[in-house]
Amino acid sequence: MHEFLFSLTYETGVDDYADVFIEHDDLRSEAVYSCLDPSQLWRLEVLTGDIPTLEEVTPLALDESCDRESISGRSCEAARQCSLLSDTRCRRVVYSHLSDVRRCDAVPVIAAKYISGGLLIEQTRRGAESQWRILMQSEEKAGMLYDTLGARLADGVRFRFERFAEVTTWQNTVLTANSLPNEQYQTLALAVEQGYFETPREVTLDELAEQLDIPRSTVSYRLRRAVSEVVKNVVWD
């Protein structure tokens, strides 16, 4: 298998969805795409951040008239369906499906036109940067994909190639995050957000318990289990 890694950096005002990430430093998106052919694609996106930020970005993520895929500035001509699969304190999971794609300058659609045999694509957004990782079976036409991506960009979007290499492993943080039960993920996310793992600690177990409105012993148990699972996943990967 081969991995094609690159990033896109957006200026403010170029893309409405990107603007929300530029405005809110706490907001993070991790998404997995699949595009079997250029006529359709699906995306599973995990959004994490502060509660007010998530309340602002979720309607946009579910807006079926909002084009979050095109990198050229030309709107995708396709039918779009969006669903909210999970809605917790610091995390949203959104499923999107584009069908009957007639024209779309989206990274997965462009890649599917050059790379046969199916693709698995991961995207991470934070701030002005969107990082892309494409897993492909063959390196054939990878150069054409590189050239096309660079040529399709809207004004105000900068392309940076990072690497193209043969890989034997694939670590996907979206699937890892979903492996935690919701209550453990919520507790872990709040602990990170509030500085529990900083040195020195910025919040105590008692303060976390008060915010979550659960016993201190429950917070401690959830954190131990969540950290244990995360460490196992890192070691196994």
Report how far residue 51's alpha carbon sits from residue 212's, in angstroms, rounded to the nearest whole number: 13
Class of residue 135 by CB neighbours under 10 A (exposed 0-12, middle 13-18, buried 19+): middle
pLDDT of residue 179: 57
Q: How many CB atoms lie within 10 A of CB 56?
A: 15
166-225 residue pLDDT tens:
776 655 555 454 456 778 888 888 888 888 888 888 999 999 999 999 999 999 999 988
Domain with CATH 1.10.10 in the chain: 179-236
**pLDDT-derived band at 55, boundaries 50, 70, 90:** very high
Q: What percent of the chain has pLDDT over 90?
A: 54
Q: Is the pTM of this model over 0.95?
A: no
- For residue 120, give the nearest of 42, 17, 235 by alpha carbon: 42
pLDDT of residue 81: 94
User: What is the CB neighbour count within 10 angstroms for residue 114?
Assistant: 19
Edge-to-edge strands of the sheet including 77-88? Answer: 77-88, 91-103, 40-48, 28-37, 120-126, 129-136, 2-10, 157-166
Q: Stretch 90-106: mean pLDDT, rounded?
A: 91
pLDDT at residue number 51? 85
* Assigned CATH class of 179-236: mainly alpha
213 burial via Cβ count (<10 Å: 0-12, 13-18, 19+): exposed
